[in-house]
Amino acid sequence: MMKRSKQKTYNILQNCAFMISRAWRDCRSVLAIVLGLIFCGVGTSLLELFVVPAVLEAVERGVSPMELAALIGWFTLGMVAVRALRSYLDENAIFGRIRVRSGLALDIHLAFCRTSYPHTEDPDYLKRTEKAQKCVDGNSEAGEAVWETMTELLTNLISFMIYLLLLAQVGPWVAALCIILSAASYFAGEHIRAWRYRHREEEAELVHKADYLCYRTQDMKLAKDIRIFGIGPWLTELYGKYVRLMQDFYVKAYRHDLWADLLDAALTLLRSGAAYGLLIAMALRGELTAARFVLYFTAVSGFAQWVTGIFAGLSKLHQQSLDLSILREFMEAPEPFRFEDGKPLAVKPDYLYTLELRDVSFRYPGADHDALSHVSLTIRPGEKLAVVGKNGAGKTTLIKLLCGLYDPTEGQVLLDGEDIRQFDRRDYYKHFAAVFQQFSILAGTLAENVAQTNQENVDLSRVWDCLERAGMADKVRDLPQKENTHLGREVYLDGIDLSGGQIQRLMLARALYKDAPVVVLDEPTAALDPIAESDLYQKYSSLTGNRTSVYISHRLASTRFCDRVLLVENGGIAEEGTHEELLQAGGRYAYLFDIQSKYYKEGAMEDE
């Protein structure tokens, strides 16, 4: 069902260029601050390197106390100025960086909201979304931390070049010794530390499972079940198990880190000992002045720091670049549906469309049989179609295919004879107003939930008209804040919780507000009481007007007001006709209707 083309992966330079272009677009001060910090970093190290040798040399030259004081004064002033600038830039760096990261987070959010529907059920895509989001989760993630890494890496590289020129004056072997031993220390340490990286999947799985248990236990929706079924101790035992496994994992990881630190200390001792020994020998032989000796001595320890810094920076940048690649690949993921690249399709006012499923089969990814098999169906303009059948028969799948939420595995869905795959799918969705079984209430005001937009853009009189038609207006009028009442308590403390039936009416009002040419109602009365249900049936025609409508129900009595009834069974259309025709035919529909009405009558008699 889904196109899976191999995606491009990006290298470090491409990802740095990507971040620079984002900063150029969203906040240029980020780039200026990076350059400023590099200047300060290199400046500080050079001033620190040269201050003592310069003073010593001045003393050796026998300069006057005033000149010496002036020299020390200049160095001090330079250091204070560079440090002050660095603190200022450090303090201010975060604002722009957050802005660039937030821009990326918004793009990820938008990409997820706009991606093809099948992606939202695809575990692989969901995993990639999670990884992309993690990349912009906080200051220490790649989406922001990359600026610090670039700053450090460039500072280290420039300082390395300067120190290399200096040490080359002593002899190429000093520079070579420092480079080789620093690199050896870094790579050996990294190899040991990489244990955790090699076991990252194991770590991620443990964290994921523990987080899941923790989150599910605190999920308000589960609170009732946890208490009624007494599953608290079971969940706690499971959570405890994963916490213990995580502890064992981290003890192992830290043991590896400790070995890496010990090795690093040993190689540093070797490197510094050898280089300092050689410098001391040269000084004793009179080959170096005191000032030069101090300069090179300081340069040797600094040089190792730059080499290690470069490798560490490259490794960090490599990791961050991988994370940025994940983010970019997520944002550029190939879509199974057409959107902007599809044919535009405007909704024609007051026009009645013909919808058709032509020999459609559909299989869910990973399933071993088709949910729908070779279904052909034409919905005439303005027709009121009822779809009935047992749970799992394939009714919802059929509706989702009609609405363009899935593409058929075989066959075609057509709008006025044209395959919907060629259209901009978002344009196609504009033709449908639907009430699905899973409610999607957002923590906003009641009016916002009906109009599906923010308060400023809500057409209030239309909201009230739709609430009225959906039978929800009286309830809303009784609320102190009326249509401005917040829904749900997850975000707003003053929010209210609606009953299942009230939410269903609200969803109906939302569908009416959209005023689309095709109305789709998937079990819209499942949460309503019998009186409310019968009230809705009576109003059905006025609710849908002359629009084409598809109505799913497992209550066969509710199909009388429809022009045609489809009985779906085992992924196919078993019977079709009007309610009366199907009863007269005496087939499966008549049989099921008989059982249902008997049950209701008996139920009613028992109630009496």
Closest by Cα among 573, 558, 498 to 523: 558
Q: How far apart are CA 85 and CA 475, in angstroms?
A: 62
Q: What is the x/- site pattern for ligand ADP, positions 504-533, by CB under 6 A? A: ------------------------------
Q: Which of 228, 251, 346, 367 binds ligand ADP (CB under 6 A)?
A: 367
Beta bridge pairs of residue 379 = 355
Q: What is the x/- site pattern for ligand ADP, positions 571-600, by CB under 6 A? A: ------------------------------
- Tell whether residue 389 is a contact of ligand ADP (CB under 6 A): yes
Token readout for 121 is 């059920």
Q: Which is nearer to ligand ADP, 84 or 595 (CB)?
A: 595
Sign for the CA dihedral angle at 399, 403, 405, 406 comes to: positive
Q: How far apart are CA 135 and CA 104, in angstroms?
A: 9
Closest by Cα among 150, 590, 564, 555 to 386: 564
Provide, rounded to whole angstroms, the least separation between the CB of residue 528 and ligand ADP: 18
Q: Which is nearer to ligand ADP, 394 or 411 (CB)?
A: 394
- Tell whether residue 395 is a contact of ligand ADP (CB under 6 A): yes
Provide, rounded to whole angstroms, the least separation between the CB of residue 364 and ligand ADP: 3
Cα-Cα-Cα-Cα torsion 336, 339, 342, 344, nearest 10 degrees, comes to 150
Q: Which is nearer to ligand ADP, 5 or 391 (CB)?
A: 391
Provide, rounded to whole angstroms, the least separation between the CB of residue 507 and ligand ADP: 17
Q: Which is nearer to ligand ADP, 143 or 389 (CB)?
A: 389
Provide, rounded to whole angstroms, the least separation between the CB of residue 254 and ligand ADP: 42
Stretch that binds ligand ADP, among 62-70, 82-90, 241-249, 393-401 (CB under 6 A): 393-401
518-522 sheet: strands from edge to edge: 432-435, 518-522, 548-553, 384-388, 564-569, 572-577
Q: How far apart are CA 42 and CA 247, in angstroms?
A: 41
- Tell whether residue 396 is a contact of ligand ADP (CB under 6 A): yes
Stretch that binds ligand ADP, among 146-154, 313-321, 327-335, 387-395 (CB under 6 A): 387-395
Stretch that binds ligand ADP, among 145-153, 219-227, 317-325, 395-403 (CB under 6 A): 395-403
Provide, rounded to whole angstroms, the least separation between the CB of residue 329 and ligand ADP: 25
Is the CB of residue 14 less than 8 Å from the CB of residue 59?
A: no
Stretch that binds ligand ADP, among 7-15, 81-89, 166-174, 392-400 (CB under 6 A): 392-400
Stretch that binds ligand ADP, among 64-72, 385-393, 543-551, 573-581 (CB under 6 A): 385-393
- Tell whether residue 339 is a contact of ligand ADP (CB under 6 A): no
Sign for the CA dihedral angle at 216, 218, 219, 221 comes to: positive
- Tell whether residue 121 is a contact of ligand ADP (CB under 6 A): yes
Task: Please report, for residues 276, 312, 440, 462, 502, the alpha-carbon distance to residue 459 in angstroms, rounded to integers and kept in the order given.
Answer: 80, 57, 20, 5, 21
Q: Which residues, in sequence order, are CB contacts of 269 under 8 Å at separation 6+?
A: none
Q: Which is nearer to ligand ADP, 259 or 364 (CB)?
A: 364
Provide, rounded to whole angstroms, the least separation between the CB of residue 574 and ligand ADP: 12
In the numeric block, the tokens 């008996």 are attached to 602
Q: CB-based burial of residue 526 (10 Å sphere; 0-12 exposed, 13-18 middle, 19+ buried)? A: middle
Provide, rounded to whole angstroms, the least separation between the CB of residue 86 and ligand ADP: 55
Is the CB of residue 136 less than 8 Å from the CB of residue 100?
A: no
Provide, rounded to whole angstroms, the least separation between the CB of residue 392 and ligand ADP: 4
Provide, rounded to whole angstroms, the least separation between the CB of residue 388 and ligand ADP: 9
Q: How far apart are CA 37 and CA 77, in angstroms?
A: 18
Terminal Cα distance for the chain, rounded: 53
Beta bridge pairs of residue 360 = 375
Q: Which is nearer to ligand ADP, 82 or 582 (CB)?
A: 582
Provide, rounded to whole angstroms, the least separation between the CB of residue 153 and ligand ADP: 46
Provide, rounded to whole angstroms, the least separation between the CB of residue 201 and ligand ADP: 25
Long-range contacts of 332-336 (CB under 8 A, 24+ apart): 332/7, 332/8, 333/7, 333/111, 333/115, 333/119, 333/125, 333/128, 334/3, 334/4, 334/5, 334/7, 335/3, 335/115, 335/116, 335/119, 336/1, 336/2, 336/3, 336/116, 336/118, 336/119, 336/407
Q: Which is nearer to ligand ADP, 43 or 394 (CB)?
A: 394
372-379 sheet: strands from edge to edge: 372-379, 355-362, 410-415, 418-419
- Tell whether residue 371 is a contact of ligand ADP (CB under 6 A): yes
Q: Which is nearer to ligand ADP, 115 or 182 (CB)?
A: 115
Q: How far apart are CA 207 and CA 316, in angstroms?
A: 22
- Tell whether residue 394 is a contact of ligand ADP (CB under 6 A): yes
- Tell whether residue 124 is a contact of ligand ADP (CB under 6 A): no
Concatenating the DSSP letter of every residue in 8-54 gives: P---HHHHHHHHHHHHHHH-THHHHHHHHHHHHHHHHHHHHHHHHHH
Is the CB of residue 435 less than 8 Å from the CB of residue 504?
A: yes
- Tell whether residue 392 is a contact of ligand ADP (CB under 6 A): yes
Number of residues that bind ligand ADP (CB under 6 A): 12
Provide, rounded to whole angstroms, the least separation between the CB of residue 354 and ligand ADP: 23
Residues 46-65 that bind ligand ADP (CB under 6 A): none
Q: Which is nearer to ligand ADP, 364 or 429 (CB)?
A: 364
Provide, rounded to whole angstroms, the least separation between the CB of residue 503 and ligand ADP: 19
Is the CB of residue 540 less than 8 Å from the CB of residue 363?
A: no
- Tell whether residue 438 is a contact of ligand ADP (CB under 6 A): no
- Tell whether residue 368 is a contact of ligand ADP (CB under 6 A): no
Provide, rounded to whole angstroms, the least separation between the CB of residue 411 and ligand ADP: 16
In the numeric block, the tokens 């992606």 are attached to 119
Q: Which of 393, 470, 528, 582 binds ligand ADP (CB under 6 A)?
A: 393
Residues 211-250 that bind ligand ADP (CB under 6 A): none
Provide, rounded to whole angstroms, the least separation between the CB of residue 260 and ligand ADP: 46
Q: Which of 156, 321, 397, 548 binds ligand ADP (CB under 6 A)?
A: 397
Q: How far apart are CA 470 and CA 451, in angstroms?
A: 14
User: What is the binding site for ligand ADP (CB under 6 A)?
Assistant: 121, 364, 367, 371, 389, 391-397
